[in-house]
Structure 1
Amino acid sequence: MAFSIKNKIQFGTLFLLLLLVLSGGVSIYYQLSLTNASKNILRDNYESLEYGHAMQRQLDSIPGFLQMAIPRFEELLRAQESNITENGEAEATKNIRSAFTTLKNHPGDTASYRALRSDIDQILQLNMQAIERKNEHSQKDAETAYTIIILVTSISLLIALTFAFNFPSVVVTPIQKLTDAIKEISAKNYRHRVHLEQKDEFGQLADAFNTMTERLEAFENSNLNKLIFEKARAEAVINSLKDASIGIDRNHTLLFANAQALQLLGMKAEETIGKPVSALTEKNDLLKFLLENDSSSPFKIVVEGKENYYTKETVDVQQGDAMSRVIVLKNITSFKEMDVAKTNFIATVSHELKTPLASSDFSLKLLEDTRVGNLSEEQKGLVGQLRNDNQRMLRILSELLNLSQVEAGRLQLDIHSVNPYPVIETSLKAVAGTAREKNISIESHIAEQLPEVKADADKAGWVLNNFFTNAIKFSNPGTTVYLDVQRTNDTVQFSVTDHGAGIEEQYLGRIFERYFQVPGRTDAKGSGIGLAICKEFIEAMGGSVSVSSQPGKGSTFSFRIPVSV
């Protein structure tokens, strides 16, 4: 018969209660036995002693008070006759009755008096002996009772302690096994089973738990097969990518690296996949560079003795509170080679075109010279238009040459301590004529006692001229262009502000990109490389450029150059 947990607990409680009742029952039994023995002694023997002593006192009174002592003696004798408890006590009482009868009939009979006293003494002696005997027997019974009570109590206590230490395991052991099993399941060990032989609620719970784990294991195996398939497919996709790709999980472990990435790192898959990134970066400088360098600028990697150029793109993937990362390296070597070829081509073409343009510009100047001959107004207009177009072409060629130098890395800068005031004055003079032609005034706010700056004076002046030229070009006639030069911390800031159409916010981040022009602008034409060259020049001097604008209100272009220490 299978007991439930409830029945086991009830049985255990009743068992302990029975032990308590047994121990208490034995104690009560022997206590009652001793009490009854004491009562019997008091009732039997002590009453006989009391009757005997009273009869002795009455016997002593008989000679002098015969009429008063005899009735009392008679009463005591009857009480004694009804309380005979010991062997020989009946015969002695009968002798007392015989001697008392003789004494009543013959009050002066001395022999009857002595016989009566002797018989009373015999009764007293019999009861005293009985009391001593019963007292000894009671003491033995008490000792026996004490021994039995101690024995029963000890056995009960031993059984209770054994039960108290062993019975909880009936409940605790299954709970502990189930707890351990739940921990295994939480660790995704779905093969773990709970083995309980008992058929109680814990056994039923273990069976249900095992059924659950079997289903979880089947589900896990099914999911595992799917995951293995998806993993294989993902690896196939990753390895098919032309770009080198590296994945790092939220625990900073290298999750994957395709064949291209492993080739660049010079490592094998078994050496990298699943390994902590911190350990890998200690042995691989390229991986360390990819993780620590946030720059998007192209960088060079030598592969099989050939220089290759790459750009890095980092994609962050949110996973709960943590972030995983995928690094993609794009091989731009072919683009770099094309860019070099383009730069060389631009430099060559610019140089080749500059000579005939300079010659045509000189010829146009000769045509305008009256010593050669007078031109009609219409001819003067045509010549002036040709000169403007020629100057524009020369300016574009100059910018292209500067750009080609920047792209080729051949930009030569003469950086030294420069007084900013001559640079400002030269630029103001250079654009004064252009501003007058468009009826635009220039207002300057230049701080006093500006410190010297660390710059190339010619390139800094070229940038300031470019800012002025653009401001005049995009300003409406009759407006003012402002120049503001102030010291800001460890730099000197040059700002040129116009009141033209302004630039929409979406284009501000691209305004310094090469060949970029704000869409929809028809009021002025340009190559779109002037501001890009300005940025390259200023950053090469350790400075920075910026722009702020509000559509319809104008723009402010600024550059900052470090103060010379």
Structure 2
Amino acid sequence: MKTKLKLSIGIGLLFVMIVLLTALGIFYINKLSTDSKNILVANYNTIDYSRNMEIALNNGIEHKNNLQLFLSSIQKQQKNVTEMGEKELTDTLSNHFQQLISNPEDSILLKQTRNDISNIMLLNMQAIQRKSNIANLTAQKSVFWITLSGTICFLVAFVMFVNLPGSIANPIRELTDSIKQIAAQNYSQRVHFSGHDEFAELASSFNTMAEKLEEYQLSNLDKLMIAKKRIETLIDNLKDPIIGLDDAKRVIFMNNTALQITGLKDEAVMGKFIQDIAVKNDLIRNLIQEMFVESVSQMVKKQPIKIYADGKESYFEKEIIPIRIVPTGETKEKLIGNVILLQNITPYKELDFAKTNFIATISHELKTPLSSIQLSASLLNNKQLGSVNQEQADLIESIQEDTTRLLKITGELLKLSQLESGTIELAIIECSPYDIVQYAIEVNQKLATQKNIQLNLQLPQNLPLVLADKERTSWVLSNLVSNAIRYSYENSAIEISVQQINHKVQFYVQDFGVGIAPQYLHKIFDRYFRVPGNRSEGTGLGLSICKEFMEAQGSTIHVGSDFGSGSTFSFELPVSDNTNIENSL
């Protein structure tokens, strides 16, 4: 018999017995409740009315209250006739009572009335006894049938409790033990179940699987060795250094290129802990540092590693690749090792150096003739040297604007080349926030006036001195104000504010222009990036240079924007330990 059928029959039978037991209980409880209600509602009320009439007779019906009590009780009794003969007795009582009212001194009528009341009470007491016997019989039947049903349910449940768990658990236990043997690579293990249920089918499938695994174990070992040799040969012939570690950080392979640049021998590293090798090898120590100190890998910006290789200084980018797998039969991912990969980027680095030198040279060479052209245009516009007509004046103004724009571009390119080459040096000094803001206002006031934009300042009194490179920080704030003017509408305003928060001084520049779409916010500081569809002039270098200038000082620039309503740029500088300055703009 199938296990599913066994469970269905056993649980189904138990369910039917429970339903039957419940139905019997409800039926007999309702029947007992009905019998009790019949006694309480009909017979008990009649006895109560009769008792009230006896009290009225005993107290004397000549009194108004007693007469009223008797009349009220006999009227209720006339509406509560439930037994055979009770109506005739009630009518007789009513007739005798009417005669008694007319002749209250007649003792014979009084005695007859009392007898009538006693007969009614006797009739109802007999009815109560009869109905009580019926209720007792119902209770006995209910106890019998409920006990019988409960006993059958208990027997069925007991049989299932004794047999069913074992019939399911024992095959599962045997199958689990066999699976553990298979997991331990004992592929000769077999399972034997008799019968034709699901466990027998499962045992047959399991035995088939074990036979195939045993066959694969014998036939594929040489293939696995060939594949291992193939992978080792491939790794050894790669030109990028590769180091493989197991989960305990022991070296399991190191290709020839890695051995060459580290100056190590294969037999000296295989199977050794990488941290033990790092004690005597500076390069290995540098490569594995972030594997043991998480804070270093999170805080330090990754830089190319300079290594002497191929007869020259070479640059490599390091990548530590964790190897994680989900073992067969498990659900949780497990780390089984790491691979340290060094990618040789020397050719790209050389091209980058060449590009930086080219940009620096071109920017420097263009700056002098452009300044000369700007000066010549200014002299042409000087009326002391002669007057020019309107068309000539327009041409001179166009030349001045173009040279100014070209000078700004060459200046940004020159700053970019200095940043890339690392030749720029910061001069961190104590300086006033008011001086930094004043420089940005003076540089951009003319441009703001041309667009009729109001520069609103919010500067508290007695701001402290800050530690910063005054020249470059002033350039950063000026560039942020210039961008705000460029992307603001005419006849609008720009808010420039400074405030002290704990040991930092925050600078804010807020405009109410077009804003920045959310999908471009994370790219706004990328080099040469310009928001698509924007017609404003610019190289896309300004914000990138601003970001690098501030990061070089240990700060950064934050941006927030509500697209269509404007943007806010901010940066912070550390407060100097000296006393507060007391001047303001």
Could you say which TM-score interval applies, normalised by the shorter chain? 0.5 to 0.7
Partner of 1:167: none
Q: Deviations over 1:508-565 (max 9, x none)?
A: 33322322323332x2122222222212221222222222223323222222222224
Instruction: Decide which of 409, 425, 434 is 1:396's aligned counterpart.
Output: 409
Partner SS state of residue 307, structure 1: strand
2:293 paired with 1:281: no
Deviation at 1:288, TM superposition (A): 2.9
Aligned to 2:551: 539
Q: Is the 8 A contact 1:253 1:275 kept in 2?
A: yes
Q: State the AA in 2 paired with 1:517.
A: R
Equivalent residue, structure 2, for 1:353:
366
Q: Which has the larger radius of gyration?
A: 1
Give the CA deviation at 1:245.
Answer: 2.9
Distance 1:255 1:553, change over 3 A: farther
- Report how far residue 289 of structure 1 moved: 2.0
Structure 1 segment 313-352 matched on structure 2, within 5 A: 313-320=319-326, 321-323=333-335, 324-352=337-365
Q: Is the 8 A contact 2:516 2:566 kept in 1?
A: yes
Q: TM-score, normalised by structure 1?
A: 0.59
Letter in 2 for 1:309: Y
Query: Aligned partners of 1:525, 1:242: CA distance in 2, in Å?
Result: 46
Whole-angstrom distance in 2 between the partners of 1:221 and 1:511: 61
Contact 2:246 2:252 in 1 (8 A): yes
Q: Does the 8 A contact of 1:496 with 1:557 survive in 2?
A: yes
1:244 aligns with 2:257: no
Q: By how many angstroms is 1:359 displaced?
A: 0.9
> Which residues in structure 2 correspond to 1:177-326 (within 5 Å)?
186-188=183-185, 216-293=213-290, 294=297, 295-303=301-309, 306-320=312-326, 321-323=333-335, 324-326=337-339
Measure how far apart 1:251 and its partner are.
Answer: 4.1
Query: Quick one: which amino acid aligns to residue 306 of structure 2?
Result: K
Segment of structure 1 superposing worse, 333-342 or 256-265: 256-265
Per-residue deviation, 1:439: 1.8
Assess if the C-alpha contact under 8 Å between 2:439 and 2:478 holds in 1: no
Residues 256/445 of structure 1: CA separation in 2 closer, same or farther (3 Å cut): farther
Q: Encode CA deviations 1:351-398: one digit per residue, 9 max, x unaligned.
A: 211111111111100111111222222221221111011001111111
Structure 1 portions without partners, runs of 5+: 1-178, 194-208
Q: CA deviation at 1:406?
A: 1.5
Residues 467 and 574 of structure 2 are in contact (CA less than 8 Å); yes or no, is this contact kept in structure 1?
yes
- Alignment CA distance shift 1:502-1:253 (3 Å): farther
Identity in percent: 45
* Structure 1 counterpart of 2:482: 469
Task: For 2:561, give the aligned amino acid.
Answer: S
Confirm whether residue 492 of structure 1 aligns to residue 498 of structure 2. Answer: no
- Structure 2: how far apart are the matches of 1:455 and 1:393? 29
TM-superposed CA distance for 1:347, in Å, is 1.8
1-structure distance, mates of 2:511, 2:376: 36
Structure 1 contact 483–496 (Cα < 8 Å) conserved: yes
Q: May I ask how many residue pairs the two structures share in their alignment?
A: 373
SS in 2 for 1:282: helix
Gap change, CA 1:404 and 1:211, over 3 Å in 2: closer
For 1:496, the aligned partner's letter is: V
* Paired residue secondary structure (2:571): strand
Aligned to 1:66: none
What's the offset of the Cα at 1:189?
6.3
Q: Deviations over 1:413-451 (max 9, x none)?
A: 221111211111121122111111112222222243322
Describe the SS at the equivalent of 2:384. coil
Corresponding position: 1:483 with 2:480: no
Q: Which residue of 1 aligns with 2:383?
A: 370
Distance 1:224 1:352, change over 3 A: same
What CA distance in whole angstroms lies between the structure 2 residues aligned with 1:314 and 1:551? 39
What TM-score do you get using the length of structure 2 for normalisation? 0.58
8 Å contact kept, 1:250–1:319: no
Contact 2:439–2:474 at 8 Å: present in 1 too? yes
SS at match of 2:527: coil
Aligned to 2:393: 380
Q: How far apart, CA to CA, are the structure 2 residues paired with 1:553 and 1:326?
A: 49
Which residue identity is paired with 1:468?
V
Query: What code does the residue aligned with 1:338 have?
Result: L
Is 1:443–2:456 an aligned residue pair?
Answer: yes
CA RMSD across the alignment:
3.3
Which sections of structure 2, spanning at least 5 residues, go unmatched? Answer: 1-175, 191-205, 291-296, 327-332, 578-585
In structure 2, the CA distance between the partners of 1:440 and 1:505, relative to structure 1 (3 Å rule), is same
